[in-house]
Amino acid sequence: MANRPLLRATLVLAVVLCAASACQKQAAAPVDPTARVAHPGASPVAPSQPRMAGPSHDGSGPRAPGLAKPQRDTTPVDATVTAVRLSSHGDADAGTIGPLASTFGRSDTVYAQVDTSGSAASYSLYARWIAPGNLVLSDYGLHVGHPGTAHTVISLSKPDGWLPGAYRIELAINGKPQRTVVFQVR
């Protein structure tokens, strides 16, 4: 049963690909099966939601194979990223992370707890994970559906291993850049 997570990820990817091909009328958002999100009020922003209608985000650098440029909601809102914490341990489903870290091993999963605050009733939190050489590894949005303080946990793992170097996560709310967090892989 050591391959159970791989089997689960493969099945999730197959279901997503089948759903995407069945909805060819709508633009498909990039799906990264290794990216995880958790927050009681946060959910992945689906391509069919009107919040995704907006100009294309013009990300810097090349994209990993199969990673399309996502659409961005650019409606101004009163919400900001107030803090970001990184860890190599966490539970995205529970919305928790372990001890803080800024340096990670080649096989670690990188967890980020993103704290936001504001009076907006809903908004999209965007995360773009960038590798050395400006290669965009993952780029996605999450819908946060309540005002006040929110704690959203996101994560990214590389089953083939992270290459050593400096990585960054660029965070935006409704397309407005909020914060860039840098971490090292050794």
Q: Are 114 and 57 in contact (CB under 8 A)?
A: no
The residues spanned by each domain of the chain are 4-185
Read off the pLDDT band of 37 (50, 70, 90).
very low
The alpha carbon dihedral of 101, 103, 104, 110 has a sign of positive
- What's the pLDDT score for residue 64? 65
- What's the pLDDT score for residue 65? 65
72-84 mean pLDDT: 95
Strand bridging mode 96-97 / 123-131: unpaired
Identify the residue with better confidence: 129 or 8: 129
- What's the pLDDT score for residue 70? 64
Span of 30-34, 72-76, 179-183 with lowest mean pLDDT: 30-34
Q: Where are the beta strands (DSSP E) in the chain?
A: 36-38, 42-44, 79-87, 90-91, 96-97, 103-104, 110-118, 123-131, 135-144, 150-156, 165-173, 176-185
Q: What single letter denotes the amino acid at residue 184?
A: Q
- What's the pLDDT score for residue 93? 83
Read off the pLDDT band of 58 (50, 70, 90).
very low
24-35 mean pLDDT: 37
- What's the pLDDT score for residue 49? 28
For the entire predicted model, the pTM comes to 0.67
169 pLDDT more than 50: yes
Cα 176 to chain centroid, rounded: 15
Read off the pLDDT band of 148 (50, 70, 90).
very high
- Kindly list the distances between the CA atom of residue 64 and the CA atoms of 13, 61, 164, in Å, as whole numbers in the listed order: 17, 10, 17
**Domain 4-185 architecture:** Sandwich (2.60)
Q: Are 52 and 46 in contact (CB under 8 A)?
A: yes
Q: Identify the top-confidence range among 43-52, 88-97, 135-144.
A: 135-144
Share of residues in the chain with pLDDT > 90 (%): 58
